[in-house]
Structure 1
Amino acid sequence: METRAKDLQSVLDWMALQDLAAEYGQAIDAGHDTGDWSRWINVFTPQVTADYTRFRPGEQPFTVAREQLVEFAKQSLRGFARVQHATATSVRIQFKGPTQAEVMAYAEVAHYFLLGGVQQEWTIIARYTHQVEKTAEGWRIRAVLLDPVHYRGNLVGLDLVQGRRLV
């Protein structure tokens, strides 16, 4: 009976981690669209390490309170009218113990903006690698690494996310 309960817990944890990978993207989209970032804050542990250096050259990974990560997201997305994360349903999960795991998921993230009154799109195909831990509130991300695989569309979008502004 104990083995069966442990197997059930493994399945429940696996399902929760699949949901967490999808929630990361959907919650940032909702925060950007509505200004309510509470869903996105909730995917993280109280302190989170973010590594976006592979598409933001010259920057370093940083560790902040999860509420501070919202400010980084707001600044990165301020040039876009809308953002849409489409996270792959095939998520790789490697358990490193009962309360630690690594979750890797691919995402296609479309960013929409206006240029000269014409809607533009810049899309990044990326691999997210999350270091996660099981807390009293459930599974949460304690570290995130964004690894770009491919860009397409109007590359002005890459300039915008890297902090450059249109005149």
Structure 2
Amino acid sequence: MREKDTQYILDWIAIQELVAEYGQAIDFGRDTGDWSRWVNVFTPEVIADYSRLFDGEPVTMARDAMAKVGGDALAPFHRVQHATANTVRTHFKSDTEAQVMAYADVAHFFYAGGVQQEWTVVIRYTHDVLKTAEGWRIRRVMLDPIHFRGNPVGLDFVKGKRLV
């Protein structure tokens, strides 16, 4: 376990900011089409494990490819809002590696028949983070859906289905 000195506190704060930025940068990317903020939270190569939501297996990719992942998954929604809770746990494995668990309520807004709909998923994120020359970055993200609320068509949308 790391000594809880000034550097520990600075690293802990930087990781808290990184976890908050993960969700806020997704929202910004959906709103503006500019996914550069989101891409910047990752190491140059990232393991994206969204298999608990989308099925399949974790995928290793260049961080720039994450922009397409986010853009494609959120295309049917006109707004998205990540309400990220305080980090549940930050476990430092070393001075340059940690694992972080955080919860988020993620609301997805869309129109069906001219009426705004909402689909919300409560998520537990597990981030493996690495201290790099750029600062703390996410090396591996795992999304674990806990609960769904609202119009279940939203889940179909993130899985690539569309209304006709």
What interval of TM-score do these two structures reach, taking the shorter chain for normalisation? over 0.9
Measure, in 2, the Cα distance between the counterparts of 1:41 and 1:47: 11
Measure, in 1, the Cα distance between the counterparts of 2:28 and 2:72: 15
| Counterparts of residues 55-134 of structure 1 (less than 5 Å) | 55-57=53-55, 59-134=56-131
Residue 135 (structure 1) aligned with residue 132 (structure 2) = yes
CA drift at 1:96: 0.3
List structure 1 segments (4+ residues) > 4 angstroms apart after TM superposition: none
CA drift at 1:37: 1.1
The alignment partner of 1:91 has SS state of strand
**CA-based RMSD:** 1.1
CA drift at 1:91: 3.2
Amino acid at match of 1:9: Q
Percentage identity across paired residues of the two chains: 64
Partner of 1:16: 14
The C-alpha deviation readout for 1:1-59, integer Å capped at 9, x for no partner, is xxx9x7000000000011111000000100110111111111000000000010112x2
Give the TM-score normalised by the residue count of structure 2: 0.96
The alignment partner of 1:74 has SS state of helix
Partner of 2:41: 43
Mapped contact 1:125–1:148 kept (Cα < 8 A): yes
Give the TM-score normalised by the residue count of structure 1: 0.95
Unaligned runs of 5+ in 2: none
Aligned length: 162
CA drift at 1:146: 0.1
